[in-house]
Amino acid sequence: MASLIGYYSLITGLLCSFLIIFFSLNNFNRSDILNKKIVYFTFLQFFLVVVSFFGLILSFVFSDFTNSTVFNHSHTTKPLFYKISGTWGNHEGSLLLWLLVLTLFIFLFLLESKRQPIKYRLLTLLFQQIIIVGFFVFIIKTSNPFSYIFPAPKEGLGLNPILQDPALAIHPPILYLGYVGSSIIFSSALAATTLNYVSKEWAKHVKQWVLVSWIFLTLGILLGSIWAYYELGWGGFWFWDPVENVSLMPWLALTTLLHCILVLEKRLILTSWAIILSIATFTLSMSGTFLVRSGILNSVHTFANDPERGLFILIFLFSLIFLSIFIFLFFHKNENKSKNSFFWFSKETAILINNWFMMYFLSVILIGTIYPIFLEVLSSEKISVGPPFYNKLILPFLIPFLLAMAIGPKLNWIKSDLKNKANLFLFLIISLLLSIFIIRNLSINFLVNTILVTSALYLFFLTLRDFLIMKIKNLSQNLSHFGFSLLILSILFNNIFSSEIITNLKIGESFQSKQFTINFKSVDQKNERNFKAIIGKFEIENNDGTVEVLKPELRIYNQPNIVTSEADIKTNLIRDIFITMNLVQNQEYFNIRYQIKPFMIWIWFSVLIISFGGLISIFKRKHEH
């Protein structure tokens, strides 16, 4: 029954789209007041998608195996929490969640934009409904979450065990709030361009949507990174996995857009940047959906492997891109060149320089992600692009980017001079001396790492000073910039000071290094509801006499029958110690991977600081109104 209600709610939701489009077109030139029917039907559409989504949740909770989505991704022994989160832990359910957020955001937009021109509100609604109709048709035609199976199987196939995790349960909804938030920015930018409404007033209005989308996308990426760190057993925070890149690219575009909107609020410049980045952010979010949902990317995240689905998204995506290009070319008024000229030493110039750096980083990641796909299509040759590619192309440009980011906020709008800027040079000398002191005793590339650490320390000291001064006016900016400087510094120190031991041990054996001894003490077993666990006990004896006890696990799941490795991690303010174990096939040995990862907690904490800076900016804006 829940599946039936869910399916017909989807059909009715699609019909609501056509009614909303009809009333919006009818209202466009007839009144200065928004027709209440438009708001009512927009709410009704959102409510119907909520009903549909809860219908799918109930099907999972009650293990309704007449539903093919439930059959393929659930099991009676699965804990209730993972039955619920399994609703969006698959292709069909994740798209239904995407549609839910799409309809929620456009309803909130109508409520929040009452002070905006009526034509702008209606046109934004029309563009958003084009996207919503596309998703309705895609779900109903190719990805129906309510497909019926008869006769009903007695048991389901289960959910991939590595997806059965609290962080991953909340990671997709938060990430989707960021992705789908970019759709409102996209629709708003197209509407503003069509009506020649790209102005300071528009920038102030759209800024809140940019911030909301940016905060959720940042937190979504953080949760995904934390999950991969402890669940996949790779022992790091970022692996340049294609689907990780797919989430990072919209974030880079959105961060650049946020800075353009801040400039546009002050001066009527960078309008072309703002429009293009609004389009690019949503396009990259949709491209990520295409790459993941089509099954093209070989990743733990991939859900689907159906060419029809991929082809539909590809055609839909290209239609939206061509529509965007057409509107930009034919409706966007060129900026006045006299207004658009910058003095070389000003805040606008610094933001523009950083924009180009961000676009370069985005281009590198885009090429690294899609090049292997095109190569395989053209030559059937499979390659993987990993950290060395990104490090070689990004690290050299990261140095001037960090320096520009450190100096830029200290400059004035329109025009700055070099007076009273001596302290900037003093902080640079201090950063250089400190980085030489840190790097000198390490057997690593002295020159490159010294310059990298110098630029990171320089940004850190300047943003820390700004943060400690605590000017309420710039609190959100200072907080986010300080968080970013802490993130970069933590990542650099994590890479420089990390160490790893990989060895094979039997129970009772030890491995000794210069700093510590790993003692493999014992193995225990325990039975849980849907898996059996083999728990290793390891004692790590450090040279200073301290002993750490770590208990990594091997879990053998009953449905599907998969073995996963669960890391044990001990965290303090300075470092993480991280251990995993795996069975060596046909032998009594276990493969042990022990890592020391400095400053991991500061990587996570710095991203929270960045997000909190954005949150303060939203509340500050609300307070001003």
Task: Give the pLDDT confidence of 73-84 residue by residue, as tens digits.
Answer: 888 888 888 888
Q: In the predicted model, is pLDDT for residue 511 greater than 90? A: yes
Is it the case that residue 299 has pLDDT exceeding 60? no
- Token digits for 105? 């955001």
What angle is formed at CA 120 by the lines to CA 315 and CA 312, rounded to 5 degrees? 10
Q: Give yes or no for residue 488 having a pLDDT over 80.
A: yes
For residue 418, the model assigns a pLDDT of: 59
Is 394 inside any structural domain? no
Q: Decide: 559 and 155 in contact? Cβ < 8 Å.
A: yes
Q: Which of 210-224, 352-366, 493-507 has the lowest mean pLDDT?
A: 493-507
Average pLDDT, integer, range 170-191: 92
C-alpha to C-alpha distance for 90 and 98, rounded to whole angstroms:
12
102 assigned to some structural domain: yes
Contact 227, 168 (CB under 8 A): yes
State yes or no: pLDDT of 343 exceeds 70: no
Query: Is residue 504 one of the residues assigned to a domain?
Result: yes
Residue where the block lists tokens 């919503």: 132
Q: How far does CA 444 lie from the centroid of its chain?
A: 32
Q: Which two tokens stand for residue 270?
A: 């960078």
- Give me the pLDDT at residue 240, please: 87
C-alpha to C-alpha distances, 287 to 272, 322, 485, nearest whole angstrom: 22, 14, 30
Tokens encoding 589? 């040995």
In DSSP terms, 549 is beta-bridged to 539
What is the CA angle 542-546-547, rounded to 5?
85
Closest C-alpha to 69, from 49, 53, 90, 48? 90
N- to C-terminal Cα separation, the chain:
47
Domain membership of residue 553 (yes or no) is yes
Q: Whole-angstrom Cα distance, residue 379 to residue 253?
A: 31
Residue 59 CA: distances (Å) to CA of 11, 74, 146, 182, 606? 18, 10, 9, 30, 39
Whole-number Å distance between alpha carbons of 572 and 580? 18
Q: What is the mean pLDDT of residues 447-453?
A: 83
Q: Which of 580, 413, 442, 433 is nearest to 503 (CA)?
A: 580
Q: Is residue 251 part of a domain?
A: no
Percent of the chain residues topping a pLDDT of 90: 49
Quick check: 21 pLDDT over 90? Answer: yes
Query: What pLDDT, on the 0 to 100 scale, is given for residue 124?
Result: 96
Q: Are 6 and 55 in contact (CB under 8 A)?
A: yes
Domain that holds residue 543: 499-601
Q: Of 1-10, 160-169, 405-414, 557-566, which has the strongest mean pLDDT?
A: 1-10
Least Cα distance to 462 among 513, 491, 426 occurs for 426
The pLDDT, as a whole number, for residue 210 is 96
Mean pLDDT over the full length of the chain: 87
Closest CA to 435 of 415, 465, 458, 412: 458
Q: What is the DSSP string of 496-513?
A: HH-EEEEEEE-TT-EEE-
Element spanning 348, H or E: helix 347-379
Give the whole-number percent of the chain exceeding pLDDT 70.
Answer: 91
The residue-averaged pLDDT of 294-309 equals 55
Q: Is the pLDDT of residue 421 over 70?
A: no
E-state strands within 123-234: none
Query: Among 24-33, 104-113, 342-351, where is mean pLDDT lowest?
Result: 342-351
537, containing H or E segment: strand 531-542
Is residue 573 situated within a structural domain? yes
Identify which has the larger pLDDT, 410 or 205.
Answer: 205
What's residue 337's pLDDT?
Answer: 47
Query: What digits encode the pLDDT tens for the residues 96-152?
Result: 999 999 999 999 999 999 999 999 999 999 999 999 999 999 999 988 999 988 888
Q: How far apart are CA 314 and CA 15, in angstroms?
A: 24
> Which amino acid is residue 156, in one-letter code?
G
Q: What CA–CA distances, in Å, run from 498 to 325, 491, 501, 510, 577?
A: 46, 10, 11, 22, 10
555 and 567 Cβ atoms separated by less than 8 Å: no
Q: Residue 531: is its pLDDT beyond 60?
A: yes
pLDDT the model gives residue 415: 67
Residue ending a domain, among 164, 189, 212, is: 164
Q: Is residue 261 part of a domain?
A: no
In the DSSP assignment, the letter for residue 207 is: H
Task: Note whether residue 84 is domain-resident.
Answer: yes
Q: pTM of whole model > 0.95?
A: no
Q: How many domains does the chain have?
A: 2
CA distances to 94, 110, 605 from 107, rounded to whole Å, are 20, 5, 33
pLDDT at site 340 = 55
Instruction: Examine the pLDDT at 300 and tell me if it is beyond 50.
Output: no
What is the identity of the amino acid at 459?
A: L
Question: Which residue, 164, 187, 213, sits at the end of a domain?
Answer: 164
What is the reported pLDDT for 72? 87
pLDDT at residue 303, as a whole number: 45
Query: Phi and psi for 65 in degrees, rounded to 5?
Result: -80, 5
Q: Which of 113, 140, 164 delimits the end of a domain? A: 164
Residue 261 and residue 267: Cα distance in Å, rounded? 10
Cβ contact 318:383 at 8 Å = no
DSSP 67: B
Element (H, E) at 127: helix 118-142
CA dihedral 260, 261, 262, 263 (to 10 degrees): 50
For 584-602, the pLDDT digits (tens) are 877 788 999 999 999 999 9
Whole-number Å distance between alpha carbons of 378 and 281: 28
